[in-house]
Amino acid sequence: MKKIGQIMTAAAISMALAGSGTAYADEGMWLPSLISQRIEDMQSKGFRLDAEDIYSINQASLKDAVVLFGRGCTGEVISPEGLLLTNHHCGYGQIQKHSSVEHDYLRDGFWAMTRDEELPNEGLTVSFLERMEDVTDRILDGYVTDMTESQRDSVVKANSDALVKEVTTEGKGLRATVEALYYGNQYFLFLYREYSDVRLVGAPPSSIGKFGGDTDNWMWPRHTGDFSIFRIYADKDNNPAPYSPDNVPYTPKKFFRISLNGVHEGDFTFIYGFPGSTREYIMSEGVRYISDVSDPAKIALRTQRLDIQKKYMDRSQAVRIQYSSKNAGVANAWKKWQGEAGGIRRLGTVAAKQEYEKRFSEWAEGTGYETVLPRLDSLYGALEPYMFTQEYYTESARSIELCNFAMSIWKQFKEYGRFLGSGKASDAAVTDSAENAFFSGISKTAKSFYKDYYAPIDKESFIAVMSSFAEDLPEDFQPAYFKDGIAKYGSIAVWADSLFCNSIFTDSTRVLTLTPADSAAVSDDPAFIFGNSFAEWFAKDIAPVCKRINSEITLLYRTYMKGQMEFEPEKAFYPDANLTLRVAYGKVQGYSPADGVYYEPSSTLEGIMEKDNPEIFDYDIPQRLRDIHSEKDYGRWAVTDAQGNTTVPVCFIATNHTSGGNSGSPVINADGDLMGINFDRVWEGTMSDIVFDPDYCRNICLDIRYVLFIIDKVAGAGHLLDEMVFAGINTEK
């Protein structure tokens, strides 16, 4: 490996790592601190601001108006008084927690009419990026080339911990992480200021905020009003502070002006947010595994579960409510994987990567990179049966609700056992509090489980997915416990009868009366034994092998990544997404999903009325919206569509490269003003986590004018508009 680096000067490597060079189409999730390298391209596509307006450590810039919302969404500040916008599906958990039978904010929506009515949310934080910085030298200080990977990891960890400590000492609410980019060819420090008093201000009813539900999820044309509103609070000095009634609205360094200029095909768009995870540089073998092996297997297992859920949900309103959120979770990735596998096949990505690898290998002759692909290939060969088993286990045995529940109840016994082992049992007060923790743990876990549990679904799913497990995995990759069980019972169905009939966990009364003395009732329970035997087998026979091979693969990818950059010195590389702040830019554009079909880039209220159907849960809109539509009472939000109808804009699509985590991201126009909120991608383009296709990859955005229309006309919360600043035409009220 000595020769690597002689090929390219250090300067050339750091240039390639920094992402200068030519980029194609609208692919890319760029690092904001290096955006000066792309600003000319952005400007040539219509952007009218400068790099310092996007990211600066010297002045307020757009980055100061963007937050990581919770630990998996994005949000943006839209007023000088800390008003924050994100998606309805990002604020869903908070809205749900404040809901009860008397106040069902998920169903009816919620609007704080005064600041006093804004609702605090324990555990919710938003993080502003203070700065980011290349710290590769500092993190690798002490690393020498003949170290093993685990020695290198120790160096990286020690240096990262020291750096994080150093930069977070001064100032309130500081949080820092050091993240590997390009498989550890580069390290960046991200310093955040985290605010923890974030209050719910408003949310539309789900019939607007989740309109279309899972029927329309990942699809275009779309009509979901997917937004919710929060406000950030700070102490009197504008610093982060835990919730207190004395806190005051946060004064941002920067907030977005709201564009009223509208959205037109071809308009420049810029998404500023936190995409979670992509794998753009993996080799053909890794892609083939995803599209031909992993995705199809996972889709098939989830199809079985979804069909069973649907059957019972259609029969009973109560079951439909119990399983709607679970069903949404199962369906979300299920639909995404279909688009992903289909997109990879349509594009011929495996063959295209093989061809690229052939050229790479020819070039690599004599560079030191010649062995990296063959070694990766053979590691993939070794990994595949283990990885497949891991994924299969997750989607089958790990999905049995009753077994998971039994295992979480067992945790209470383990906790209590630890307490007994600690020798503190002689102190009566301590014993009391350990017992209280035990009983309240059981009761909390049990109540939330039974509220949404319907055993016939679980049992039928058990039979379906465990039968597939028995059929689809080689015997060597099945736990002995499982093979013995099948032999003993004769069939999975008979086993399921016995397990669901004999387990105490189907009996809520029994579970709620468990005492610390009952540990045998749990450890001997068939549901517990089933879940636990699989978990032990997985931890012993499967997980360690996956972990070992995967870490060898990552190590080789570090080399392959560097090799790809040297092989194509003209190409602009961007680091894979890792939930750090990125810039993606593109334009408003329709697409053709199939021969003879063209999708326009924007949707309107007319589409909502076309879908409206009180009989179909996902399409049943509030009466208020029907009335507004029939009276065309749109006020200043009225537009004229291509057919000459007076209507209201709802959603639009664009060519930005986004991923999970970009939900809630600001969609910014050429002048840096807010034109929408990102919330999804079209399913035909979900392979963009692996390969971006400019013809099919579209992100789905909510038009900011629909948000304002809902607040103003449907919610009657127009006072919120008074604190916003508008840009463009039609600004007076």
> Which spans of this chain sit near ligand GLU (rule: CB under 6 A)?
658-663, 679-681
Number of residues that bind ligand ARG (CB under 6 A): 10
Per CB under 6 A, contacts with ligand ARG among 82-101 are 89
- Coil vs helix vs strand at 350: helix
Are 26 and 587 in contact, with CB atoms under 8 Å apart? Answer: yes
- CA proximity to 468, closest of 538, 539, 388: 388
**Could you give the CA distance from residue 434 to residue 409 in angstroms, rounded to a whole number?**
15
Examine residue 218 and tell whether it contacts ligand ARG (CB under 6 A): yes
Query: Closer CB to ligand ARG, residue 124 or residue 529?
Result: 124
Examine residue 7 and tell whether it contacts ligand ARG (CB under 6 A): no
Mark whether 264 is an active-site residue: no
Of 75, 184, 516, 660, the residue at the interface with ligand ARG (CB under 6 A) is 660
Query: Closer CB to ligand ARG, residue 89 or residue 698?
Result: 89
**Could you give the CA distance from residue 52 to residue 209 in angstroms, rounded to a whole number?**
35
The C-alpha torsion from 415 through 418 and 419 to 424, rounded to 10°, is -170
Q: Which does 658 bind (CB under 5 to 8 A by kind): ligand ARG, ligand GLU, none?
A: ligand GLU
Question: Least CB distance from residue 657 to ligand GLU, whole Å?
Answer: 9
Examine residue 213 and tell whether it contacts ligand ARG (CB under 6 A): yes
Question: Least CB distance from residue 90 to ligand GLU, whole Å?
Answer: 7
Question: Least CB distance from residue 332 to ligand GLU, whole Å?
Answer: 8
Question: Least CB distance from residue 72 to ligand GLU, whole Å?
Answer: 7
**Could you give the CA distance from residue 733 to residue 728 in angstroms, rounded to a whole number?**
13
**Could you give the CA distance from residue 125 to residue 230 in angstroms, rounded to a whole number?**
11
Distances (CA, A) of 683 to 121, 301, 613: 33, 19, 24
Angle at 650 between CA 644 and CA 654, to 5 degrees: 100
Examine residue 629 and tell whether it contacts ligand ARG (CB under 6 A): no
**Could you give the CA distance from residue 305 to residue 199 in angstroms, rounded to a whole number?**
37
Instruction: For residue 162, count other CB atoms closer than 10 A to its CB.
Output: 13
Residue 626 structure tokens:
């029907």
Query: Closer CB to ligand ARG, residue 460 or residue 680?
Result: 680
**Could you give the CA distance from residue 586 to residue 663 in angstroms, rounded to a whole number?**
17
Per CB under 6 A, contacts with ligand ARG among 324-343 are 328, 332
**Could you give the CA distance from residue 65 to residue 86 in angstroms, rounded to a whole number?**
12
- CA end-to-end span of the chain: 67
Q: Which does 533 bind (CB under 5 to 8 A by kind): ligand GLU, ligand ARG, none?
A: none
Query: Closer CB to ligand ARG, residue 218 or residue 230?
Result: 218
Of 206, 217, 412, 647, the residue at the interface with ligand ARG (CB under 6 A) is 217
**Could you give the CA distance from residue 699 to residue 657 in angstroms, rounded to a whole number?**
7
Question: Least CB distance from residue 700 to ligand ARG, whole Å?
Answer: 9
Q: Which does 399 bind (CB under 5 to 8 A by kind): ligand GLU, ligand ARG, none?
A: none
Are 209 and 246 in contact, with CB atoms under 8 Å apart? Answer: no
Query: Closer CB to ligand GLU, residue 258 or residue 702?
Result: 702
DSSP codes of every residue in 185-224: TEEEEEEEEEE-EEEEEEE--HHHHTTTHHHHTT-SS---
Query: Closer CB to ligand ARG, residue 226 or residue 285?
Result: 226
Question: Least CB distance from residue 258 to ligand GLU, whole Å?
Answer: 22
Q: Which does 213 bind (CB under 5 to 8 A by kind): ligand ARG, ligand GLU, none?
A: ligand ARG
Are 572 and 23 in contact, with CB atoms under 8 Å apart? Answer: yes
Examine residue 214 and tell whether it contacts ligand ARG (CB under 6 A): yes
Instruction: Mark the segment that binds ligand ARG (CB under 6 A) among 51-59, 157-165, 197-205, 210-218.
Output: 210-218
Per CB under 6 A, contacts with ligand ARG among 661-690 are 663, 680
- For strands 646-647 and 83-86, give the pairing: unpaired
Per CB under 6 A, contacts with ligand ARG among 586-625 are none
Examine residue 211 and tell whether it contacts ligand ARG (CB under 6 A): no
Q: Which of 26, 53, 79, 89 is catalytic?
A: 89
Are 86 and 74 in contact, with CB atoms under 8 Å apart? Answer: yes
Instruction: For residue 221, count other CB atoms closer than 10 A to its CB.
Output: 20
Query: Closer CB to ligand GLU, residue 218 or residue 255?
Result: 218
Alpha carbon 560 to its chain's center: 27
Secondary element (H or E) of residue 457: helix 455-472
Angle at 537 between CA 536 and CA 538, to 5 degrees: 90
Instruction: Mark the segment that binds ligand ARG (CB under 6 A) among 209-217, 428-436, 555-563, 587-595.
Output: 209-217
C-alpha atoms less than 13 angstroms from C-alpha of 671 in its C-beta half-sphere = 13
Question: Least CB distance from residue 96 to ligand ARG, whole Å?
Answer: 13
The closest residue (CB) to ligand GLU is: 663
Mark whether 719 is an active-site residue: no
Q: Which of 26, 134, 216, 226 is catalytic?
A: 226
Q: Which of 324, 663, 665, 688 is catalytic?
A: 663
Q: How many residues does the chain have?
A: 733
Mark whether 663 is an active-site residue: yes
Q: Which does 184 bind (CB under 5 to 8 A by kind): ligand GLU, ligand ARG, none?
A: none
The closest residue (CB) to ligand ARG is: 217
Rule CB under 6 A: which residues touch ligand ARG?
A: 89, 213-214, 217-218, 328, 332, 660, 663, 680
Active site positions, annotated: 89, 226, 663
